[in-house]
Amino acid sequence: MKARTFFIGLLIVAVSSLIFLISPEALYLILPSLLFAGVAGGLYVGYMRKRPIIGCFYDGLIVGIPGSLIQAAISMPILWYYHSVYTQQNAVTMLFLMVLSSFMLCGVVGVPSGAALSGIYYRYLKRDRGEMELYETLLNEKTDKKSRIDKLIE
């Protein structure tokens, strides 16, 4: 996986977490919003990987673990101050619950399952199976003037 894909996947997880948690009803839908933010990041990672399914899942785990920590760091202050959770729980319990829930829902389940869904799409539903990349490589090789001259010299 490229570093660009990694950081864009983390950015998608962070931005989607921020968007889903800022609504007033987010307190009641905290677990689905954590999961959906992870799946959104995983769909991008799987889209960039395209195939195979296990590779997409593995890349989802690589993005999901740090993404879950970023998600917990974003969601904790939003829930603590914006949604007034401090009246219901103490800070240590809230921090433990947010880190654990974002790790489980985003890092272990959300991002890898989203990436695996993209891998399944490219493996079973899109019948391309890699022929398009092979054709594009061959076409670029044939149209590149420098490579044609090099082949004529050999």
Give yes or no for a cis peptide into 52 (omega within 30° of 0). Answer: yes
Backbone angles phi, psi at 51, to 5 degrees: -165, 160
Beta carbons of 103 and 72 less than 8 angstroms apart: yes
Quick one: what percent of the chain has pLDDT higher than 70?
Answer: 84
Whole-angstrom Cα distance, residue 88 to residue 23?
A: 19
Token pair listed for 34: 């954590």
Q: What is the pTM of this model?
A: 0.74
Phi, psi of 22 (to 5 degrees): -80, -20
Q: Which distant-in-sequence residues (6+ apart) come within 8 Å of 91 by Cβ?
A: 80
* CA neighbours closer than 13 Å in the CB half-sphere of residue 62: 17
> Could you read off the pLDDT of 66-122 as tens digits, one per residue?
999 999 998 888 887 776 766 677 878 888 888 999 999 898 999 999 999 988 888
Residue whose pair of structure tokens reads 């219901």 in the numeric block: 88
